[in-house]
Structures are given as C-alpha cells and as structure tokens.
Structure 1
Amino acid sequence: METEIEIKFIFSSEFELELYQKINAQHFISSKTQLLHNVYFDTADRALRKMDMGLRVRSCENRSVQTIKTAGRVIGGLHQRPEYNEPIEGARPELSRFNSKIWPDDCDIKSLESELFPMFTIDFERQTWLVEMADDTLIEVAYDRGFIESNQGKVAICEIELELVKGDEKQLFVLGNDIALLPEVRLGNVSKAQRGYMLTDKALFKVKPLSHSPLFPSMSVEQALLTNMQHGLRHIQYHESCYIESCQDDALIELLTGIKFLHQNLKLFKQSSPLLLKASWIEDLHWLARAFSWIDQRSTYQSLLENRGYYLRKLPKFKSLLKKLEIQDNNLPKKQDVLELLKSTRYCQFILNITQWLIQFEKSTFSSEKANSINDFARGYLTSAWEELRVGLTSEKENQLLAYQGLLEANLLIGLSVGNLFSEEKNTAFRSPWLDIKQGLKELAMINVIADFAEQEVDTERRSEYIKWIKRKEESLLHALEQSKEQALLKEIYWRDSIYQ
C-alpha cells in the first residue's frame, strides 16, 4: 500500500509556457512524457463508490496496472489517499490480486468482479519532472492534459499535480506557492475520478446550504476548531466550483456564507487558541470578505427584479423603476470580475495557506483534559451569545431586529458551528423562527432599496405613492417579524442537554 500526498491545481494550457519556465527554474533530476489510458470500473449500483473506493486500470507502453484508491481525504487542494497497485495482463480488473484486507468482511469479491463494467475513460498526456527540494525532499510535478469520456459526453482536463515522493511535506507547499503564481491557476479539490462519475451520472455542482459542522462530544476544543475550519473551507471551494461551472449568483451567496462561517469561528475560538489570530491567511480571509461584500446587495436587487419585478407591480411608473434597479444591479461586479478573482494568485494562495495551516494544526498536540471538552465550551458560548441577543430584542427600542441583524446572523452561524453536539429535533425547532426572521429581514432590505428611490424622487405625487407603499409593506412585515420574534424567544434552549449523555 502507498499513500498519495499531493497538491492538485486546475490549470489552463494557454499558459503552459509560463509553467515550463517555472519548472526550468527548479532543480529537476529527470523528466519524461507519457500517454496514459485509464479505464474506471464499477457496478451498475455503484458498489465501489458506496465503499468509498475507486478502481481503474491504467495502460501505458504495453503495460497495465490496476489501482484501488480507498477512502482518503481532501483538505483545500491537498489530497491524501491510500492506494493499492497490482500489475495485470489485459484490461479487465482482477480483484483477487489485491490484499484481501482492503475489502469489507461481507464483500463477495468474485461476485463483485463479475458485475464490473467500464464506467468512463480518462486519457491524457502526462509530463513529469522529479524536482529536488530542500531537506532531502523529492517532489514529482505532473502536468496532465486530456479528456474524460463516458457515454454521456466528453470534458477536457488540464491539471498540475505535485506529489511528495520522499522528504518533508512542507516542501510541497513551498513549491505549491510558486505554482500558485501562474496565471489563472486554482486549487483543485475534486479528483479526476470524481469528475468522471459526475460526467457519467450527469451530475452538476448544485448550490446547497451550509450544514452543521460534524462535531461529536469526544472532541477537544482544538479538534472542533480544526473540524469547523475544514467544514467552512469545503463549503467555499464547493461553491467556487459551482460558480465557475454555472455562474449562478446563489453559489456566490453560499460562498460568502462559508467565508462568514470561517470568520465567526475565528471569534468563537480566539480565546482558547490565541495563536489562531496570527495565522498567515487571516488577512486574506478579511480581503475575501470585503471582495464579496456586495453579494447581499446583488441578492436584494435580484429579488426585486425577479419575475419581471412582480413584487413592485403596484408602484407607479413600474417599468421606469425596474430600469433604475437594473442600472444599480449592473453597477455591481460582473461575472468576469468574479471569475478573475476566483482565478487570481491571491485567492489561490489563500486556499493554499489555509490548507497548510490546517495540516500543521492537526499535527499539534490536542489537550485531552475534561475542562477542554467541546460540549462544555459549546454550552457556555451558546448561552452567552443568545443571551446577548435576547436582552437586546426585549429592550424597549423600536425596530430592534434591524439593529441586531448582524448579531442574529452571527448566532445562527455559531449554531451551525457547534449545534451538531445536541438534539437535532430541538435544534431545528429552536432555529426555525429565527430563520424566518432572517428571511423577513431580507424583505425589509428590499423595502429599504425602494425607500432610497423614494427619497430621490422629484415628482411629489409619485413620491407620495412610494411612501404609502413602503409604509404599508413595512407595517405588515414588522408585525409578522414581531410575532416570529415572540415565538423565537419562547423556544426551548436546545443546548441545555446533550443527546450523547
């Protein structure tokens, strides 16, 4: 068995001359070019996929090798995955050649092999260089150009992979930071095999809401921090891929949610892990948050323009108002601006730096003291955070919800950070009215946009109509929000008792 440790970059062959210049600046001791033909196998019901395994037969220069890759993990662009290789004759897998220990106890190898069929092929030219780095480290740089093909179609691939052959893992990131300076390069957290399955199954990157971080009670606070940061990074990278594939604005909303989640966890854990705030990627996280700060505004404009402005249909000079909204929306960053940012050197280095930090943090010694348990930490933080919001919302100030909108969003993110430790049923019941309030505040933001237009309106009669509409909408919405708030404040606190006790 071998364990691959590699950093994968998505690249464009348009800039391969710059890549060659980068490689030539390194001290490499050998290089070669090969044509690799890869056939990936599975059963009709995806038996291998369900076991988190990937099976391929690779042919090169009249030799065939079958490979099983078992469940590994991906952090940022770093891939770590155990693999088993066996030479074979021909193009059909022979599962009995693999070590029997890799299979589940109840797996019938002969039956499984009989049901295998070719799912997709990946053919590419691979150029490799064996690069010498400091600390007696060898890294293989592979530049792959080719195609994934199945009965559902064909897609191009162009990737750079840095694989640790021997030596210090840190040197992967030294070389990786140099590769990150290439034009339009970005970290890849999806393998060729995953992309092959997606093509075969006609699967696309679909926008999905941020889920609860998968914490469990035996974790220390430090382990929970590590899990949460990985969770947020995965959400960001998934929706980065989603946007690049489809350019959906909803993908950017979720990407920003991932950024906010990481930022909230900095606040959540800064006292228990003081060195966290000195991490090299913090400044770039803040830069990224600023770079996407317009997304909420875009969401508001798009909601107003939805269905040809149905929400605004009763306002005077309706079509004129829609044109003004479209102008405002068009003044915000465009798709090309977003794509340039996601393919920028700074963004690529941010993903690379947080990946390296996560790997190093994981290797540090975690405290096992009971006082440092995540359960106690989570209860204490949830209690203080929600109490601050409760006190604010029960004050006598008017429109408290608007004043505490930021705190509400922060508390909901804290719930996603540590809520998995407690009863899912009680958690859902507690969060439901608060999520209704969050949605209501989005509508209030829409009303406020029209209020801004009303202030600029010179026609007094039209301005009066705007104000009447705004007042009517606000009164109805604020009444509903107030009712939701009263319900929310009465909900049972879900973190009082852990379901694991």
Structure 2
Amino acid sequence: METEIEIKFFFNAQFTSELYEKINLQHVISTKKQCLNNVYFDTGKRLLRKMDMGLRVRSCDNKSVQTIKTAGRVIGGLHQRPEYNEPIEGLRPELARFKSKIWPADCDIKQLQDQLLPIFRTDFNRQTWLIEMPGDTLIEVAYDSGFIETNMGKKDICEIELELLKGDEEQLFVLGKDIATLPQVRLGNVSKAQRGYMLADGSTFNVKPLIPSPLTKSMSVEQALMTNLQHGLQHIQYHEYCYLESFDDAALYQLLTGIKFLHQNIKTFKNAVPRLLTANWLDSLHWLARTFSWFDERFIQQSILEDRGFYIRKLPQPKSLIQKLEKQLNELPDQQAIQEILSSTRYCQFVLALTQWLIQFEKNIFFSEQTNSIEPFAKAVLESGWQELKQVGSNKTFSIKQLLSYQGLLESNLLLGACVDNLFPVEKSAAFHSPWLDIRRGNTELAMVNVIAEHAELETDEVLQNEYLKWVKRKQDSLVRALQQSKNQAMSKENYWHNNGNNS
C-alpha cells in the first residue's frame, strides 16, 4: 500500500509556457512524457462508489496496472488517500489480486468481480518533472492534459499535481505557493474520478445550504475549531466549483456564506485558541469578504427582479422601475469579474495557506494534551450570543431602522448555530431557530422595500412618487407587524442548549 500525499491544481492550458518556465527554475532531476489511458470500473449499482473506493486500470507502454484507492480525505487542494497497485494482463480488473484486508468483511469479491462494468475513461498526456527540494525532499510535478469520456459526453482535463515522494511535507506547500502564482490556477478538491462519475451519472454540482459542522461531544475545543474550518473551506470550494460550472448566483451566495462561516469561527474561538489570530491566511480572508461586499446589494436587487419583477407588479409603471434596477445591477461586477477573483493568485494562495495551517494545527493538537471539552464551551458561546440578540430586541416595538440594524447580529448567531448545533438535539435546535429565520427573511424583504423607497425619493413625477410611497408604507407596516409576531415567538422559545439530550 502507498498513501498519496499530493496537491492538485486546475489549470488553463493557454499558460503552459509559463508553467514550463516556472518548473525550469527548480532543481529538476529528471523529466518524462507519457500517454496514460485509464478505464474506471464499478457495478451498475455503484457498489465500489458506495464503499468510497475507486477502481481503475491504467495502460501505458503496453503494460497494465490496476489500482484501488480507498477512503482518504481532501483538505483544500491537499489529497491524502491510500492506494493499492497490482500489475495485470489485459484491461479487465482482477480483484482477487488485491490483498483481502482492503475489502469490507461482508464483501463478496467474486460476485463483485462478475458485476464490474467500465463506467468512464480518462485519457491524457502526462508531463512529469522530478524535483529535488531542501531537506532531501523529492516532489513529482505532473501536468495532465486530456479528457474524461463517457456515453454522456466529454470533459477536458487540465491539471497540475504535486506529489510528495519523500521528505518534508512543508516543501510540498513551498512549491505549491510558487505554482499558485501562475495565471488562472485554482486548488482542485475534485478528483478526475469524481468528475468522471458525475459525467457518467449525469449529475451536477447542485447548490447546497450550509449545514451544521459535524462536531461530536467527545471533541476538544481545538478539534472542534479544526473541524469547523475544514467544514467551511469545503463549503467554499464546493460552491466555487459549482459557480464556475454554472455561473449560478445561488452558488456564489453559498460560497459567501462559507466565508462568513469562517469569520464567525474566528470570532467564536479567538479567545479560546489565541494562535488563530496570528494565522497567515486571515488577511486574505478579510480581503475576500471585502472583495464580495457588493453581493448583498446584488442579492436584494435580483430578488426584486425575479420572475420579471413579480414582486413589484402592482406598482404603477413597473417596467420603468425594472429598467432602472437592471441598470444598477449591470453596474455591479459581472460573471467575468467574479471568475477572475476565483482564479486569482491571492484566492488560490488563501486556500493553500488555510490548508497548510490546518495540517499543522492538526499535528499540534495530536501531540498536545488538550482536555477542554467542546460542549461546555458551545453552551457558553450560545448563551452569550443569543442573550445579546434578545437584549437588543427586548423593546416592545421595532422601528424599520432597528430591524435592519438587527440583521448583522442575527446572522452572526445563526452562523454560530452552524458552528456548534450538531452537539444538541436537532429538533429543539430547529424549533428554536424557526422564528429567527422568519425574522431574517422578513429583514431581507424590508431591504427590498427600502430599495423601492430610495427610487421613490428620486422620482420627479409627484403622482407616481406618491403611489410608490403608499406601496412602500403598506409593505413596511405589514412586514413590521409580521416581524413583531415572529420576535414574540422567538423570545418565548426554550434555549435548546440547556437540554440534556444527546445528539452525538
């Protein structure tokens, strides 16, 4: 068995010469070019996929090798996964050649063998360089250019992989930071196999809401922080890939939710884990948040314009207002500008720096004797956060200004829930959050109404302006009444973190 430790990058082939120039600045020991033909196998019911295994047969220079990759992990663009290789004759796998210990105890190897089918293929040209780094470290750099092919179609492959063959793992990140300066390079947390399965099965990267981080009560505070940061980074990278595949703004919304989740963890854990405040990726995280600060405005405007402006259909002359809103929307960054941000050197190096920090932080946790349990910490931060929110909302009535200023603190507490809620009974947590989520939705609609109010103030036709302002007043009054009811419900809810139920 071997365990691959590698960093993967998605790349743009038009910058191949820049890659060669950068590689030639390193201490290159040897180079090699190969044409690799790979067929991935599974059963019709995807039994190997369900076991988190990948099976391929690779042919090159008239030789064939079958490979099984078993469950591993991906952090950022760093892939760590055990693999087992066996030479075979021909192009069909022979499962009996693998050691029996790799299979689950109840796995019928013969039956599995009989059900194997070719699912997809990946054929690509591979240019490799063996590079010597300080500390007697050897790293293989591979540049793959080709395609994934199934009955459903083809997808291009253009990737750079850095694999640690021996030596210091830190040097993998040193070289990775250098590669990250290439134009339009991105950390890749999606493997060729995963892309192949998705193409074969006709599946896509659908937008997913942020769910609570998978904490357990046995974790220490440090372990919980590490789990949360990995959870947030995974959410960001998943929706980065999703957005660049579809240019769906819902994916960008979730990517930014992931950024906010990382910020919330800094706020929540900074006193308990002081080294968090010296992390070398913090400035880039703040930069990323600032870079997308316009998105809330865009989200509100798009919400108004959904379904051809259905929300404002009862206003007089809605088409004129729609045109004005569309003009404002078009002045905000477009798809190309967003793509440039997500393909920028700073964004790539942010993901790489956070990945490296997490790996080092995990090692420090492993060698320390931390015994501070996450559960009392979680109860304390939840109590503090929600009491602050309830105190702000303790007034019997809300003004529009108060409601809109309430949004940031509410958002922070809902994100706090995503940080630690997995430690508590899910039903009680959901019941507690329900009226607060209603308030958040109501605040979003209030922001939409405020946009219309701003346009009304600028309207030169007095008759039209009065009609706009009447509509605004009706909407605001209705929303404030509904929000007042939701607030009363929210204030009466039992704090779910006081419950002694076990959810782990």
Fold similarity call, TM over 0.5: yes
The percent identity for this pair of structures is: 67
Question: Residue 314 of structure 2 aligns to a residue in which SS?
Answer: coil
Trace 1:264-283 onto structure 2 (pairs within 5 A): 264-283=264-283
Residue type matched to 1:492 in 2? E
Residue type matched to 2:481 in 1? H
Q: CA contact under 8 A between 1:144 and 1:159: conserved in structure 2?
A: yes
Number of the residue aligned with 1:447: 449
Question: Residue 365 of structure 2 aligns to a residue in which SS?
Answer: coil
Any unmatched runs of 5+ in structure 2?
none
Number of the residue aligned with 1:429: 431
Number of the residue aligned with 2:469: 467
Question: Residue 138 of structure 1 aligns to a residue in which SS?
Answer: strand
Q: CA separation in 2, counterparts of 1:22 and 1:369? A: 42
Moved more, 303-312 or 352-361: 303-312
Q: CA separation in 1, counterparts of 2:375 and 2:445? A: 36
Any unmatched runs of 5+ in structure 1?
none
Q: CA separation in 1, counterparts of 2:500 and 2:359? A: 30
Q: CA contact under 8 A between 1:421 and 1:499: conserved in structure 2?
A: no
Shift in Å, 1:473: 0.4
Instruction: Show CA shifts across 1:182-230 (max 9, x none).
Output: 1100000000000000000111111110011000000000000000000
Question: Residue 217 of structure 1 aligns to a residue in which SS?
Answer: coil
Question: Residue 364 of structure 1 aligns to a residue in which SS?
Answer: helix
TM score, norm. by length of structure 2: 0.98
- Report the CA distance shift for 1:368/1:375 in structure 2 as closer, same or farther (over 3 A): farther
Number of the residue aligned with 1:324: 324
Number of the residue aligned with 1:383: 383
Q: CA contact under 8 A between 2:239 and 2:252: conserved in structure 1?
A: yes
> Is 1:214 aligned to residue 214 of structure 2?
yes
Question: Residue 404 of structure 1 aligns to a residue in which SS?
Answer: helix
Moved more, 485-494 or 388-397: 388-397
Residue type matched to 1:262 in 2? L
Question: Residue 90 of structure 1 aligns to a residue in which SS?
Answer: coil
Question: Residue 162 of structure 2 aligns to a residue in which SS?
Answer: strand
Instruction: Show CA shifts across 1:55-77 (max 9, x none).
Output: 00100101111100000000000
Q: CA separation in 2, counterparts of 1:497 and 1:304? A: 41
Number of the residue aligned with 1:263: 263
Q: CA separation in 1, counterparts of 2:114 and 2:308? A: 56
Q: CA separation in 2, counterparts of 1:112 and 1:307? A: 50
Moved more, 215-224 or 455-464: 455-464
Trace 1:16-27 onto structure 2 (pairs within 5 A): 16-27=16-27
Q: CA separation in 1, counterparts of 2:97 and 2:437? A: 54
Q: CA contact under 8 A between 2:54 and 2:193: conserved in structure 1?
A: yes
Q: CA contact under 8 A between 1:209 and 1:254: conserved in structure 2?
A: yes
Instruction: Show CA shifts across 1:166-196 (max 9, x none).
Output: 0000001100011001110000000000000
Question: Residue 498 of structure 2 aligns to a residue in which SS?
Answer: coil
Residue type matched to 1:448 in 2? N
Residue type matched to 1:271 in 2? N
Moved more, 294-303 or 408-417: 294-303
Q: CA contact under 8 A between 2:148 and 2:155: conserved in structure 1?
A: yes
Q: CA separation in 1, counterparts of 2:482 and 2:195? A: 45
Moved more, 360-369 or 111-120: 360-369
Trace 1:46-445 onto structure 2 (pairs within 5 A): 46-365=46-365, 370=371, 372-396=372-396, 398-399=398-399, 400-445=402-447
Q: CA contact under 8 A between 2:398 and 2:480: conserved in structure 1?
A: no
Q: CA contact under 8 A between 1:454 and 1:467: conserved in structure 2?
A: yes
Q: CA separation in 1, counterparts of 2:415 and 2:364? A: 26
Moved more, 459-468 or 145-154: 459-468
Number of the residue aligned with 1:43: 43
Number of the residue aligned with 1:485: 487
Moved more, 256-265 or 387-396: 387-396
TM score, norm. by length of structure 1: 0.98
Instruction: Show CA shifts across 1:263-310 (max 9, x none).
Output: 000000000111101111100000000111111111111111111111
Query: What stretches of structure 1 move > 6 A for 4+ residues in a row?
Result: none
Shift in Å, 1:396: 5.0
Q: CA contact under 8 A between 2:222 and 2:365: conserved in structure 1?
A: no
Question: Residue 412 of structure 2 aligns to a residue in which SS?
Answer: helix
Q: CA separation in 1, counterparts of 2:175 and 2:280? A: 17
Q: CA separation in 1, counterparts of 2:224 and 2:92? A: 44
Question: Residue 497 of structure 2 aligns to a residue in which SS?
Answer: coil
Instruction: Show CA shifts across 1:428-470 (max 9, x none).
Output: 1111111111111111110000111111112222111111100
Q: CA separation in 1, counterparts of 2:454 and 2:403? A: 20
Shift in Å, 1:403: 2.3
Q: CA separation in 2, counterparts of 1:281 and 1:275? A: 12
Question: Residue 104 of structure 1 aligns to a residue in which SS?
Answer: coil
- Report the CA distance shift for 1:368/1:481 in structure 2 as closer, same or farther (over 3 A): farther
Q: CA separation in 2, counterparts of 1:312 and 1:119? A: 49
Q: CA separation in 1, counterparts of 2:19 and 2:433? A: 49
Q: CA separation in 1, counterparts of 2:263 and 2:379? A: 20
Instruction: Show CA shifts across 1:24-73 (max 9, x none).
Output: 11111000000001000000111000100000010010111110000000
Shift in Å, 1:401: 2.8
User: C-alpha root-mean-square deviation of aligned residues, in Å?
Assistant: 1.1
Instruction: Show CA shifts across 1:225-249 (max 9, x none).
Output: 0000000000000010011000011
Moved more, 258-267 or 304-313: 304-313
Shift in Å, 1:498: 4.1
Q: CA separation in 1, counterparts of 2:249 and 2:278? A: 32
